[in-house]
Amino acid sequence: MAAVFETEISNITDDASPDTIENWDSLRLINLVAALEDEFNIEFEEEEIVEMLNFKLVALLVAEKIK
Amino acid sequence: MEDLKYFEILAKKKELSKQNSSSPLKFMILSNITVNQLTDIAEYYLLTKGVNVVFDTGNYDNIVQDIQNLQNIDGIIIFWEAANIINGLHYKINLFSDKEYTQILEKVKSEIDLILPKLENIPTVIFNEFSSLLFNSFFRKKNKFDQLCDDLNNYLIEKLPKSVVKTDLNKIIAQVSVEKSHNSRDYISSKVLYSVDFLKAYTQFITPVIMSSVGKIKKALIFDCDNTLWKGVVGEDGFEGINMSENDKQGKPFNEVQNLATELSKHGVIIGLCSKNNPEDVDNVIQNHSDMILNDKYITIKKVNWKNKAENLREIATDLNLGIDSLVFVDDSDFEINLIKEQVPEITTVQVPKKLHIYPAEIRKKFSLFFKNVITEEDKRKTEMYANQVKRKTALAKAGNFEDYLKSLEMFVTVFINDKTKVARIAQMTQKTNQFNLTTKRYTESQILNFVENPIYNIFAVSVADKFGDNGITGLAIIKNNNDFAEIDTFLMSCRIIGRNIEFKFLEFIIDKTECEIIKSTYIKTKKNAQTENFFEKSGFILDNKNDDTKFYILQKQNIQKQSLDYIEISYGK
C-alpha cells in the first residue's frame, strides 16, 4: 500500500486516509484496488471501493474477501 | 513480467530505479481515457532493460492542447480512444444519422490536423490506432463504430509523418483477450478502460520502439547448424541424411526458420553461423543442398570449427566491430546454451525447443529485439557491407603489415555537405552510433533538417568506398559556426569503418573547410565510447577544461596535426 501511494510504510497506520497521505487520490485508489485484486485474486464491487476510506477499512474488506 | 503482480512491479521498480543512476528520458502519455497505471508498469519494464524513462501523464482528455505545450520531451504515447471521443460514442454512434457521423469524423480529423505539425519535432511518437474491438467483438456485422475506426485509421495512414510509430492495439488485445483487456467496472466509474494485464502486454509491445530510439537493439543473429538450421547432424547423418524440406514434417520448422532468418537479413540484421563442424561439410550443405534457403548471400560471417563457442562468438563481435551485447545466439544444445549464458551473459540466447513445431514462433518472438523505427537504404545493404568487412579482415590477416594493408584497400571518401536527401540516414546515425561517437547527441530527422537549412550549421556526411565495395553513408560531423569560433557539435563514424584512419582524414577535411580560425570541440564520456577518449588530442586539439564526463578542447586551425594519410582519397560528392 505504501508502494502505491509512494510513501513510507510507517505512514500506513490504521487511520491512514486521503487526509493523511498526500498521494491518496481517486486515481491512486484505483491502482490500490488493482494491486489488491491482483495480489489476493479477489474482486471488489463498486460499492466496496467507495467504502475504502482509510487503511483499516481497506484491510477489513480484504480480510472479508479472503476468508 | 506477465507473472508479476502489480505490487511486485511497484516494489521492484523502486529497487531498480535506485540502481540506475543515468539521467532519465522524459516521456508523456497523452490520452482521452485514464491510463495512469501504465506509468509504473512501463517504467519498471524499461528499467529491467537498462533504460531509465520517466513517464508523465497529460491532462485527462486534453491531447490536442497538451501537445501544443510540450517542451524538452523525448517521446509521447497517444491513447486516443474512439469509444470516448464523446462519452459513450461506441454505442451512441450506431444511432447517428449520416450527417452526425460525418460531423464527428470531421471533428476528429481536424483535431488530428492540429497536432500533426508538433509530432514531427518529438523524437519518439507512439500513436495507438483506433480500435473498436473491446466493444464490438461479438457483432458479426461491421457497424458505424467499426467504420469510424477504419476511417480514422485510414486518415492516420494518409497524414501521419513516417517517423510516428503506429501501434495496432488489436494485436495486444488478441494476446490478452477482449475480456481480460477491458476494465468495465473502472471504465464506468473513472474512465480506466484497460486492465493491468493489458497494460503489461502493451508495455512489452511498445518497448522495442523505445529501445530502438535509444540505440539499444540487437544487430546480429547467429545460428548453430545441426538441429538448428536443419534436422540432423551433417557430420554423422551425411549430406543426404539431414532434413530441412518444407514438404516434410521433420524438416518444415527448419525451413520456416531459415525463411525468417533470410527475411531478417533483408532488413539489415546480420546473420552468422557458429557451429562445431568441419567447415567443408557445412559449406557443401549451404552451397549445394537444394532445400537450403539461407544461402551465402545472406550469411555474413561463419565460425565453423572445433573451438569453444564462447570464444567464437566473441570473435564474431570483434570481426564485425559490434558490441557483444548486440548478438543473439540460437543453438539446440543445453551444453552450448549454458556455456554462453555463463561465460558471455551479455549475449541473448535462444534454445531450439524440444517441441519443434513451436521453434518458428520462438524465432518470430525475437524479431522485436531487432526492431528499427526506420529502415534506410544502408540497412538493406548491410549484409553485403558487413560481408565485405569480413573479407577485409581476412585480407589483413594475409597482408601482415597494417599500413600496407590500408594502402591496398584503395579507399575513397566522398563528403556530402548539407544534403537534404541524406537526412534520414544522418538522423539514424546519431541515434544508433554508440562506440565511435564523441558527443553521443541524438537527433530526429526534423532536427537534422533544421540544421541543414540553418546557415549557422554545416552537416558533413561521408560515404566510404574501397576495392571491396561501397559502405554507404557511415560518418557524420555537425559543425556550428559561431561568430568567432566553430564548434564540433557531433563527430561520429559507424563502427564498420573505424580502425582505418578515415576518422582522422575526415576530421582534417572538415577543419580545412571551416572558415573560423578557432575550433572548439568536446568529448562526452559514455559507457560505450571509451575508444574515442583521446581522439581530439591525437589531432592536435588542446585540452582546455574538463569535468567528470566531459573534456573541452580548443584548436588554432593552423595547429592541426595532419597524419600522412595519402592513401585515402577524399573529396566532395555531387
The pLDDT of residue B397 is: 66
Compute the distance between CA of residue B117 and CA of residue B119 in angstroms, rounded to an integer. 6
Within 10 A of B252 (CB to CB), how many other CB atoms are there?
A: 19
Nearest to A34 among B6, B14, B189 (CB): B6
Strand order in B75-79's β-sheet?
B53-57, B25-31, B75-79, B124-128, B164-167
Per-residue pLDDT of B344-367, as tens digits, reads: 999 999 999 999 999 999 999 999
Residue position matching grid coordinates 564520456: B525
Within 10 A of B251 (CB to CB), how many other CB atoms are there?
A: 19
Per-residue pLDDT of B86-124, as tens digits, reads: 999 999 999 999 999 999 999 999 999 999 988 988 989
The pLDDT of residue B260 is: 97
Contacts of B37 in chain A (CB under 8 A): 30-31, 34
Give the distance from residue A16's alpha carbon to the nearest chain B alpha carbon, in angstroms. Answer: 19
Which of B37, B127, B33, B44 is CA-nearest to residue B81?
B33
* Mean pLDDT of chain A, nearest integer: 86
With 0-12 / 13-18 / 19 or more C-beta atoms within 10 angstroms meaning exposed / middle / buried, residue B503 is: buried
Compute the distance between CA of residue B289 and CA of residue B242 in angstroms, rounded to an integer. 10
Which of B352, B113, B348 is CA-nearest to residue B219?
B348
The pLDDT of residue B488 is: 95
Per-residue pLDDT of B508-558, as tens digits, reads: 999 988 888 999 999 999 887 888 899 999 889 999 999 989 999 999 988
Interface with A, mutate which of B2, B3, B4, B5 (most A CBs under 10 A): B5
B contact set with A (CB within 8 A): 5-7, 10-11, 14, 34, 36-37, 40, 185-186, 188-190, 192, 195-196
Task: Please give the residue range of the domain that contains residue A41.
Answer: 2-66
Total structural domains in chain A? 1
**Cβ-defined contact of A39 to B6 (cutoff 8 Å):** yes
Nearest to A4 among B10, B190, B195 (CB): B10
Tell me which amino acid residue B542 is. I
CATH number at residue A14: 1.10.1200.10
The angle at the Cα of B395, spanning B389 to B397, to the nearest 5 degrees, equals 110
Give the distance from residue A38's alpha carbon to the nearest chain B alpha carbon, in angstroms. Answer: 6
Average pLDDT over residues B159-182: 94
Look at residue B398 and tell me whether its pLDDT is greater than 70.
no
Residue position matching grid coordinates 537526412: B423
Average pLDDT over residues B328-338: 93
The pLDDT of residue B384 is: 75
The pLDDT of residue B359 is: 97
Contacts of B55 in chain A (CB under 8 A): none
Q: Are A5 and A21 in contact (CB under 8 A)?
A: yes
Q: Are B272 and B301 in contact (CB under 8 A)?
A: yes
Per-residue pLDDT of B456-508, as tens digits, reads: 999 999 998 888 788 889 999 999 998 889 999 999 998 777 778 899 999 99
Per DSSP, the three-state class of B481 is: strand
Q: Are B169 and B80 in contact (CB under 8 A)?
A: no
Can you list the positions of beta strands (E) in B454-494?
457-466, 469-481, 486-493
Per-residue pLDDT of B515-524, as tens digits, reads: 889 999 999 9
Give the distance from residue A31's alpha carbon to the nearest chain B alpha carbon, in angstroms. Answer: 7
Per-residue pLDDT 10s for chain A (67 aa) are: 777 888 888 888 888 888 888 888 888 888 889 889 988 889 898 888 888 888 888 988 899 888 7
Compute the distance between CA of residue A13 and CA of residue B337 in angstroms, rounded to an integer. 50
Q: Delineate the domains of chain B, giving CATH numbers in brackets.
A: 6-213 (3.40.50.1110), 220-370 (3.40.50.1000), 399-572 (3.40.630.30)
Nearest to A30 among B5, B10, B186 (CB): B186
What percentage of chain B has pLDDT greater than the value 70? Answer: 99
Chain B touched by A34 (CB under 8 Å): yes
The pLDDT of residue B399 is: 60
Chain B touched by A7 (CB under 8 Å): no
- Residue B134's contacts (CB-CB under 8 Å, 6 or more residues apart) are B83, B173, B178, B181, B182, B193
The pLDDT of residue A51 is: 86
Per-residue pLDDT of B223-267, as tens digits, reads: 999 999 999 999 888 899 999 999 998 999 999 999 999 999 998
The pLDDT of residue A7 is: 81
Q: Are B287 and B297 in contact (CB under 8 A)?
A: no
* Mean pLDDT of chain B, nearest integer: 91
In three state form, how does the secondary structure of B519-566 look? Answer: EEEEEECCCCCHHHCCHHHHCCCEEEEECCCEEEEEEEHHHCCCCCCC
The pLDDT of residue B400 is: 60
What grid cell was written down for B214? Answer: 535509444
Q: Are B507 and B539 in contact (CB under 8 A)?
A: yes
Can you list the positions of beta strands (E) in B236-323?
270-276, 299-305
The pLDDT of residue B302 is: 94
Average pLDDT over residues B326-345: 92
